[in-house]
């Protein structure tokens, strides 16, 4: 269940990302946390990334906003984040 304070969702913690994503590269955890996403945002992106969106049928909405950004991080094939790469040239 998601943590809520009033009507505002609580921002993700490092532990939340690890719990929901399991084996995830450290740079991806930091990239997701930098987005200021809520637990609900991450849960939705994880569902899409794991293919559960197929089960949502016609009622599913297209990805947008921070959920789309999280999805892009989760599905990135890059082993390293931009900051971990050696300069080219």
Of the two residues 58 and 35, the one the predictor is more confident about is: 35
- The answer to whether 21 and 44 are in contact (CB under 8 A) is no
- The answer to whether 5 and 34 are in contact (CB under 8 A) is no
Cα distance between residue 16 and residue 12, in whole Å: 6
Token look-up 């943590």 returns 3
- pTM for the structure as a whole: 0.70
pLDDT (tens digit per residue) in 62-86:
788 999 999 999 999 866 655 544 4
Handedness of CA 56, 57, 58, 64 (dihedral sign): positive
Cα distance between residue 33 and residue 71, in whole Å: 13
């Amino acid at each position: 269940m998601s943590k809520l304070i009033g009507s505002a969702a609580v921002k993700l913690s490092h532990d939340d990302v690890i719990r929901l994503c399991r084996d995830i590269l450290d740079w991806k955890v930091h990239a997701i946390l930098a987005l200021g996403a809520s637990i609900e945002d991450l849960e939705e992106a994880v569902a899409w990334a794991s293919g559960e969106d197929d089960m949502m049928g016609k009622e599913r909405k297209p990805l947008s906003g921070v959920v789309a950004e999280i999805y892009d991080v989760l599905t990135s094939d890059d082993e390293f984040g931009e900051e971990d790469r050696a300069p080219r040239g």
